[in-house]
Each structure stands twice: as structure tokens, then as C-alpha cells.
Amino acid sequence: MATPSTPRPRTSTRDPEELRARLDAWIGTWQPGATATGLTVPQSNGMSSETVLFDLRDGDGQVRPCVLRLAADPDAFTVFPRYDMERQYRCIELAARTKAPVPRLLRLVTDPRVLGAPGFLMERVEGRVPPDVMPYTYGGNWLHEAGDAERAELERASVALLAELHTAPVAEAAFLRSTAPGDTPLRQHVNEQRAYYAWVVEGRPPSPLIERAFARLEQLWPADEGETVLSWGDARIGNVIYQGFTPVAVLDWEMAALGPRELDLGWFVFLHRFFQDLTVAFGQQGLPEFLDRERVVAQYARASGHTPRDLDFYTLYAALRHAVVMLRIGYRQIHFGETPAPEDPDRLILHRDSLEAMVAGRYWG
């Protein structure tokens, strides 16, 4: 993410006009006479899968607001080595089997020749999302300016949403089974992250901090990993659309997997701390009482009937995973000439102080 002292990294190298022409041609094959109008690529677009907004106008003038999700542009030094859009589509189908709100799916396109990349189309859900840039922990945005009771309602509803997603029928999620080595879903998940880290640093300086974090994980490994559920992956309030303070749509499934419930809980708690710690580092108070770890754990237990455990392990793992992503984004900025290469690669990890403290066992104290 960008901070007050760093520019927002480049997110795409795609030509919007070429995409518009491809989109019109594709729509015409399944809804003759319909066209895409008002196409925009949000400034807040992420650096992995891309989001394109447009209105689908049919021959009778009826308009349907839509969202197109496309696999990352391979010319944009992708954050992840692989983007399986069909996998994301099927995750949303699975989540729709629960009471959690998800956008209505319209079309899947797996042939990259159609739109320039695989992707899928959904109906657009109106509402608002806690911003990443500048993050919602900074002043001036709707969530920061809300009252304590309103934020408490959003927190409670968001934790309940997470618990509901974990009721998805795992028996129908064989497509998410990992091929990584390991005798449990958690061990496979961590081994996948090790492989991702190896891909990130191939031909580049490794991160001593990330390697220490991997070693610390082994010391904290849970004795009982518990039930395997559908793990949303990028479980955070920045991937939820809210109307008022009520969740109305869950977004972004590119990090989905099978694993313990605490994978999502650790990520959910840590990603708030990531934004909060950065906000404090830049001299602002942020939202120190929001998404408190112990309160989130208690709320999840009430909503699910499952008492979360080993949160020191899972929050450290979340911080480690995010550090690998940050390292890749840092190398990406270097690739595009947006920042010089530092002597110490750990300087590319924005939350390195927090991760250091977690590795040392003094962060949550």
C-alpha cells in the first residue's frame, strides 16, 4: 500500500480502450445488442486480480451495473505466480451456499483470447468499502468518522460473516485441495507459502526476517489444528461492501484455501493491526480499540460455537504471509523504477518492526 512518503505502486499496464473493445465483442456473443458503457478501472484497484466496473446496457435500454474481475496482467510483474479465475468463481459459488452475502455471478470466461485474460463477471453491489489508500485508520473517511457504536456494529457483523463463511460445504471444495507436501491442510498451506517465498526471492536478495519468522512458526506449531473449513484467504473488512454498517457482499477470493478457521481469524486481526501500526508510525491515533484481538476471538466463539486457539501462531503466520507479499510488491516497484533497491531487503517490508516483535514474542504483550 502507499503511505504519505511513498507513491502508490503501478497496478496495471493494460490498455483500457482495447479492453473495452474486447468486452463489447464478448458480450455480443451471449447477449446480442448489449454493450458495455461507462467502463472505469478504479484508482483503488489492487495489484493482483484487476477490477473493471461498467454498466451492461441491453438492446431495450435496460442497464445492469456489473463488475469484471480479470487475472493480473502478466506484463505488470504480478504479485502472485498464478491466477486461477475459475477457482475464484467456484469459491463464490460455494460461499453462496451459506447465508453470507456474495455478488450474483453472471459469466465465467477461461479463454484468455477473449478478454486478454481469464476472468468472470458479477452484478455490482452498491455500498461502501473501508479504504486501503489512505487506510480507514487515517482520519477523513467514513469508518474513521463513524461513532463507536457504529464501528462496534460493523465489527460484530463482520466477525459473524466470517463465522458464516466457515459453514460452507467443504465436501464440495475438492478443487481447493492443495498439492503441496504435508500431512495436514495447515502444513500444506505453510509449505505453499514457503514455495511462494522461494519464487519471490528467486534471483533476488532473500529476507532474513521472513526466514526467522518461518523458523519461529515451527516453535509455535499448534498441537491440534482443528476442523478444516473454507478459508476466505484475504479475510478483512477491506474486502467487504457495507450498506450503512451491515455487510452486503464478500469480495476477493484469490487467496482462498482449505485450512483451520484460525487462518482467516489471524489474517482478519493482523491486517487491521498492519494499518493501525502504520497510522501510529505516521503520528496519528488511528483506531486503537477497533478489531481488538481478544474481543474478535470472543465474538467469533459466540457466532460459531468454536473457541479459537493458537492466535500467536496464526497472527505471526499472517504477518509473515503479508511480509512475503510486501517483499514482492517492493521488488515490483524496483522493477518499474518506482523506488531504488535498498541494501537491506527487509526495508521493503512496511511492517518489519511488528513482524520482528512477533518473532521475538513481545508484540501482543
- The catalytic residue positions are 234
Residue type, 62: Q
Residue 125: which of 143, 105, 110 has the closest Cα?
105
Alpha carbon 99 to chain centroid, angstroms: 21
The distance between the two most distant Cα atoms of the chain, rounded to a whole number of Å, is 64
Q: How many angstroms separate the CA atoms of 309 and 131, rounded?
A: 29
Residue type, 12: S
Give me 227's grid cell.
Answer: 476442523
List, in sequence order, every residue forming a beta bridge with 230; answer none if it has no partner: 258
What's 307's DSSP letter?
Answer: -
CB 311, CB 261: distance < 8 Å: no
Q: Name 305's Cβ contacts closer than 8 Å, sequence gap at least 6.
A: none
Q: Name 320's Cβ contacts closer than 8 Å, sequence gap at least 6.
A: 193, 210, 213, 214, 217, 355
Residue type, 293: R
Residue type, 253: W
Q: How many angstroms separate the CA atoms of 171 and 151, rounded?
A: 35
CB 31, CB 58: distance < 8 Å: yes
Q: How many angstroms separate the CA atoms of 22 and 198, rounded?
A: 36
Alpha carbon 109 to chain centroid, angstroms: 22
CB 80, CB 195: distance < 8 Å: no
DSSP per-residue string spanning 4-61: TTBPPPP-----HHHHHHHHHHHHHHHSTT-EEEEEE--TT--SSSEEEEEEEE-TTS
CB 98, CB 246: distance < 8 Å: no
